[in-house]
A and B are shown apart, each in its own frame.
Chain A
Amino acid sequence: MSGTLGTTGLQLNEPLLWEKGGKGRCGFSIPRRDVDLFPIEEGLVGAVPDFPELSEVDVVRHYTRLSQWNYGVDSGMYPLGSCTMKYNPKIGEKYANLAGFAGAHPLIDPRLAYGALKLMYDLERFLAEITGMDATSLQPAAGAQGELTGIMLIHAYLEGKGIQRSKIIVPDTAHGTNPASTALCGYRPILVKSNEDGILSPEAVAGLMDEDVAGIMVTNPNTLGLFEEDIEKISEIVHAKGGQVYCDGANMNAVMGIVQMGKIGVDVMHLNLHKTFSAPHGGGGPGSGPVCVRKHLEPFLPVPRVIEKDGSYTLSYNYPQSIGRVHSFYGNFGVMIKAYSYILSMGPENLKKASELAVLNANYIKESLRGVFELPYDRPCMHECVFGDKKQRSYKISTLDIAKRLIDYGFHPPTIYFPLVVQGAIMIEPTETESKETLDEFIEACKSIAKEAEENPGLVLESPTRSKLRRLDEVMAARKPCLSD
């Protein structure tokens, strides 16, 4: 192949749904009316919703064109840091769409839901094994809901001991969801700074830990892609004052089969099935954010829980200390199917291999781009590496410009401006499913952009030029919000 991966091609314009169509069209096979019209009270009836009038072909063309304006993992490398955009196996989609699963009513008698309940029961145990914890709840619908559930478990556990506390320690490298989840649970997040190595120091935690602190939330590996080496010591400090240790497992993809968090002081953690366990991200969701706990927190897990007796499965509400429900039913079952089938496809050795290769890929990028971009924390990284834009700023090129230029080269940009502790952060998470050739192309693209920044900054500032649209006016969008038509 000659030239860069990114190119231009014929893209079709497509108006909004209601800007097309024709009066009287309908794209739906309306089921046969085999019963009479029954009377309905006049006062109950509302106006017909002002939906567009489209044929099936209109709808199909509309969404096919829209889809072609999108970039997905199936299009190319999507190194969005902390999002683990790995390949999403096609079998996962197929299994989630099996009639018995897709058509399952959530309130069906458990005797008629054997397969689903068994799947959930087994998946809970797989995840407990991978994390080294004792029990799992699959109910949280996404990572942030898993965090909230985990903090609620800590709250309920302490309350059960008659302890009221008001603060949770959260590192400065944490995802925004961490402080937001603690606040939603009524706690005040206390910021702890990471040290010059980019990780937490036991001393800093000890300095903040007191008997009004309910616990600490540690993302491990953290958002700088670094392993929190002192997690066990930190756990001891927190436990000594009666606190609990929460691990944000968003970055678990680095350490499957390598570290079991339950064995190094963590009391509760969440996983993201749409990251580590290969379920797709769906343009924003759905995800699934199971929570794994140590024994002492198990009584507080959300209900209902799947229980097994003599080879059959049922749902139990008999957990008087439970925090209650967090989901309308049992969580995002369709996403669980994908994670379950992924684990069974991989097996224990390949899961470990996946983590090893994810870490290899990130370190390979880090070493290959050393000297091209600023490397603020020069240490062996885990599944992602974080650069800054210091070198390029002298040419008035920012991280945003670099990201936009990567689009022209055919790559989805990394996560940018996060974590906040790095100025102009460029957070690259390649994942294990990218081949060396793809990484090399990405590295070459980054090097070219760095060169362009010096020699032809206009090219970078003008980018992207090969996408459907050029840079968008986000200020106007926020100043005069137009959120529906």
Chain B
Amino acid sequence: MRYLPHTEEDISTMLKVVGVDSLEELFSTIPEDYRKRGPLNLPDPLTEWELDLHMASLADSMAAMPEYRVFVGAGSYEHFIPSSVSSLLGRSEFVTSYTPYQPEISQGTLQGIFEFQTLICRLLGMEVANASMYDGASALAEALLMAVRITKKRKVALSVLIHPHYREVVKTYLKPTGCGVVELGYLENGKTDFSALDGMSELAAIAVQSPNFFGCIEDLATVHERALDHKAMFVTSFTEAIAYGLVKSPGSCGADIVCGEGQSLGIPQSLGGPSLGIFATKMEQVRSMPGRLVGKTVDKTGERGFVLTLGTREQHIRREKATSNICTNQGLCALGAAMYMASLGKNGIRELARLNYDKAEYLKGQLRKAGFRIRFDSPTFNEFAVEPPGSFEPAYNKLLEEKIVAGLPLAPYFPELTNHYLMCVTETKTKEDIDTLVGRITS
């Protein structure tokens, strides 16, 4: 096997040094009756060339760009990724290293993550961002746990317009802790309805998502006021980071904790993972935040350098008193996101975000003309909910055969929204793609 370098001669020399007669004898401390008898029941090994064919056949069965035109977002967005980013991110010095415990030989990762933290702060208008969480969902769950720790209150209010999967993860995380979760409904305009908050007390956090699951941009300044009224922390999530190239940052609207999904920042969709959990807050709360942090310092000759810092929050030092159990994070995805943001720059991010907005508006207009009802009239970013005229399912299935995925049916998530679809358009869709979609729908 090409990954195993030992020759027979090596093995026998080494066994002699160890003082045993066989490889099997190395396991003498494992009681006989614990040992596995016979080989594992697994497929026989494949050569690299056989495996190439097998993997290609699996991958070819998947619906993906460019063969398919997928007008679905809902937490995972199709964006162009420059070859420069993919190529740089493939450098094995980044890929095959681990957590930079030895800063003298990890400055590449460390400076890269420091830059990531800085770029995320600038994107979200926040003071401090960590080196990443697993994904948007666990970032939100950890944000709410952090709010519970800080406020010492044991109830959180969640907008139902936070991605349904994120809400499920929050419930999974909070259930064994006994913390309560209250859900806030939505208004006819597609934004969160805060009226259920009236008279509510003991709230650790009020959490929304913007743009929300329907793509609508929430009025974050109002959420901020509500949070102040309740002396609760203002937590805001997001699934589409590109939106903040155009719309006001959560930090500028007073958010205490911003958490979300950074997949849009140059990470392949990859069936939803690995993606990039983003977590940012204010400096006054830095010692309560979960996850790794990279800080600036100097070496013994006075050269600028970077190290992991404030480790006393973390599990390897604080054990059960840590701010989280997270250890391995999504470091390489964070580095990729930094490369992507650096490539876009301030000139690119605004135009790219604006293209997403305009292309989605174009589809919105075309669908409206085709008799679709735009379900919510609030401004949206690059996705929006529609109600087709009459039953859409037959047309939807027919489009699938033509390799067009015409949005995401909303009924499984919001049963009251039968025959409603969430449509998403990013910069990867040309006007022609959009016209084709609308043409097929109306034909």
Contacts and interface: CB of A to CB of B under 8 A. Distances in A.
Interface in A308-347: 323-335, 337, 341, 343-347
A130 B40 contact: yes
B271 A101 contact: yes
B418 interface: no
A29 B138 CA distance: 33
Given A183-B321, A323-B172, A467-B105, 8 more contacts: A35-B359, A56-B343, A67-B108, A107-B75, A176-B319, A281-B328, A324-B168, A436-B13
A224 to B, nearest CB: 12
B84 A155 contact: no
A428 interface: no
Contacts of B82: 27-29, 56
Contacts of A207: none
A477 B297 contact: yes
A177 B315 contact: yes
B213 interface: no
A467 to B, nearest CB: 4
A373 interface: no
Interface stretch (A237-245, A361-369, A390-398, A448-456): A361-369
Interface string A153-185: 001000000000000000000011101111111
B93 A70 contact: yes
12 contacts: A35-B358, A49-B123, A49-B346, A284-B100, A329-B273, A343-B42, A345-B3, A467-B104, A469-B299, A472-B307, A482-B295, A483-B296
Given A114-B62, A152-B172, A129 B105 contact: no
A413 B106 CA distance: 12
B248 A368 contact: no
B40 A257 contact: yes
A386 B331 CA distance: 28
Given A35-B362, A180-B320, A364-B18, A348 B298 contact: no
A472 B297 contact: yes
Contacts of A295: none
Closest 8 CB pairs of A and B: A329-B272, A284-B331, A347-B45, A282-B332, A106-B272, A115-B58, A103-B64, A100-B59
Contacts of A40: 246, 357, 379
A118 to B, nearest CB: 6
Contacts of B131: 284
B176 to A, nearest CB: 5
Contact of A354 (B4, B101, B333): B4
A126 B114 CA distance: 39
B104 A100 contact: no
Interface string A349-363: 111111011011101
B437 to A, nearest CB: 14
A387 interface: no
Given A227-B29, A481-B293, A31 B168 contact: no
* Range class of the A interface residue count: 35 or more
B29 A27 contact: no
Contacts of A332: 134, 273-274
B78 A105 contact: yes
B152 interface: no
A326 B132 CA distance: 17
A182 B176 CA distance: 10
A433 B96 CA distance: 14
B187 interface: no
A143 B134 CA distance: 11
Interface in B427-442: 427-428, 430-432, 434
A231 to B, nearest CB: 8
A182 B319 CA distance: 10
Interface string A450-482: 000000000000001001111111101110011
Contacts of A481: 283, 286, 293, 295, 309-310
A469 B303 contact: yes
A71 B93 contact: yes
B98 interface: yes
A285 B332 contact: yes
Nearest to A57: B84
Given A25-B345, A407-B102, A364 B245 contact: no
Given A180-B319, A328-B136, A359-B27, A70 B106 contact: yes
Contacts of B14: 360-361, 364, 436
Contacts of B332: 280, 282-286
B217 to A, nearest CB: 6
Contact of B18 (A93, A227, A280, A360): A360
B96 A281 contact: yes
A349 B316 contact: no
Contacts of B299: 469-473
A78 B105 CA distance: 12
Interface in A39-53: 40-41, 44-53
A142 B40 contact: no
Nearest to A331: B273
B19 interface: yes
